[in-house]
């Protein structure tokens, strides 16, 4: 990725997410997913990529700027992203910012995790924003400086996501620079023991009308299915006896800085990120 824009304004990532709960019992589930990858400075070009994709307008698949960032209609995305990255000491000097997220499908969008990749003018990855949403309509960001290749970050858990886990312990994020393969792992830890792990692995594919139409036919629930799946799995966990924890008040600040962490040998052997 350079100033010449070798990557298209819009592309797709097709793959799978796996979730594993380790405490108080082990439970694993997986489902297929398709994500969109947008250059936030080239949204008009992204909208022109396919008649089945729109930006800030109705469409079979769409992206609305108000679903992200400041979440205000008409608010530009770049100043918000640059401000968030600056909290972790990251400057992009005008480099590209790409947002990987779930598309809006018809009337609905829910993105448990969106990834903002910030690049320098030379195309090297400099920073990442992990934008996390819960099913209560709340949002929190974990921001970290990164290097090209594989990275690991650690941050105190600051945000309520699951009603079956307290807002205690730490998150460990592991990711690679997205080129032809997307990989990210999010682990919830307490006293260095894993409570939960979620990962995403995907391959890049062009955002053609044919691919979008195939997605609509083969996965008609799309992002709505993500929300239904979350509640269905939560019901199964509750039936098995997991203790329910009421939602606490959201944190006073909407951003937590994640610090770089050395990637251990065991992490290097993971194929997931």
Tokens 């793959």 belong to which residue?
15
- The pLDDT, as a whole number, for residue 223 is 65
Q: Higher confidence at residue 55 or residue 136?
A: 55
Over residues 84-111, the mean pLDDT reads 92
* Residue 261: both structure tokens together: 């962490």
Alpha-carbon separation of residue 52 from 57, 63, 101, 194, 215 (angstroms):
11, 11, 17, 41, 11
> Considering the entire predicted model, what is its pTM?
0.85
- The pLDDT, as a whole number, for residue 105 is 83
**C-beta of residue 47 within 8 angstroms of C-beta of residue 61:** no
Q: Higher confidence at residue 58 or residue 80?
A: 80
pLDDT category of residue 11 using cuts at 50, 70 and 90: very high
Cα dihedral 150, 183, 67, 231 in deg (nearest 10):
-130
pLDDT category of residue 165 using cuts at 50, 70 and 90: low
Q: Higher confidence at residue 185 or residue 4?
A: 185
Rounded to whole angstroms, how far apart are CA atoms 272 and 18? 9
Indicate whether 36 pLDDT > 60. yes
pLDDT above 70 covers a percentage of the chain that reads 80
Q: Coil, strand, or helix at residue 15?
A: strand
- The pLDDT, as a whole number, for residue 93 is 97
pLDDT category of residue 220 using cuts at 50, 70 and 90: low
Indicate whether 231 pLDDT > 90. no
Rounded to whole angstroms, how far apart are CA atoms 35 and 180? 14
* Average confidence score pLDDT of the chain: 83
- The pLDDT, as a whole number, for residue 39 is 98
User: What sign does the dihedral 130-236-194-199 (CA atoms) show?
Assistant: negative
Indicate whether 164 pLDDT > 60. no
Domain extents in the chain: 10-268
**C-beta of residue 50 within 8 angstroms of C-beta of residue 236:** no
- The pLDDT, as a whole number, for residue 21 is 83
pLDDT category of residue 102 using cuts at 50, 70 and 90: very high
Over residues 231-248, the mean pLDDT reads 58
Over residues 240-248, the mean pLDDT reads 62
Over residues 159-169, the mean pLDDT reads 69
Over residues 226-235, the mean pLDDT reads 56
Tokens 């312990």 belong to which residue?
169
- The pLDDT, as a whole number, for residue 262 is 65
Q: Higher confidence at residue 28 or residue 18?
A: 18
Top-ranked range on mean pLDDT: pick from 61-65, 103-107, 247-251: 61-65
């Amino acid at each position: 990725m350079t100033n010449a824009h070798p990557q298209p304004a819009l592309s797709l990532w097709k793959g799978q997410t796996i979730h594993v709960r380790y405490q108080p019992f082990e439970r694993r589930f997986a489902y297929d997913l398709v994500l969109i990858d947008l250059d936030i400075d080239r949204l008009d070009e992204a909208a022109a990529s396919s008649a089945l994709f729109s930006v800030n307008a109705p469409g079979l698949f769409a992206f609305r700027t108000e679903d992200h960032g400041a979440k205000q209609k008409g608010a530009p995305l770049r100043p918000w992203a640059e401000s968030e990255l600056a909290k972790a000491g990251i400057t992009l000097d005008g480099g590209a910012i790409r947002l990987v997220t779930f598309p809006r499908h018809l009337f609905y969008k829910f993105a448990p995790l969106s990834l903002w990749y910030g690049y320098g003018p030379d195309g090297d990855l400099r920073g990442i924003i992990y934008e996390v949403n819960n099913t209560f309509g709340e949002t929190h960001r974990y921001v970290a400086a990164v290097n090209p290749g594989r990275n690991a970050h650690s941050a105190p858990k600051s945000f309520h996501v699951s009603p079956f886990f307290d807002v205690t312990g730490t998150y460990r994020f592991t990711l690679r620079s997205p080129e032809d393969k997307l990989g990210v792992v999010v682990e919830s830890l307490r006293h260095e023991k894993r409570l939960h792990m979620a990962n995403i692995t995907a391959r890049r594919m062009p955002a053609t009308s044919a691919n979008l139409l195939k997605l609509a036919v083969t996965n008609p629930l799309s992002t709505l299915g993500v929300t239904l799946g979350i509640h269905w799995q939560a019901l199964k966990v509750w039936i098995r006896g997991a203790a329910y924890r009421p939602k606490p008040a959201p944190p006073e600040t909407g951003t937590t800085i994640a610090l770089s962490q050395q990637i251990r040998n065991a992490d290097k052997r993971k194929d997931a990120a």
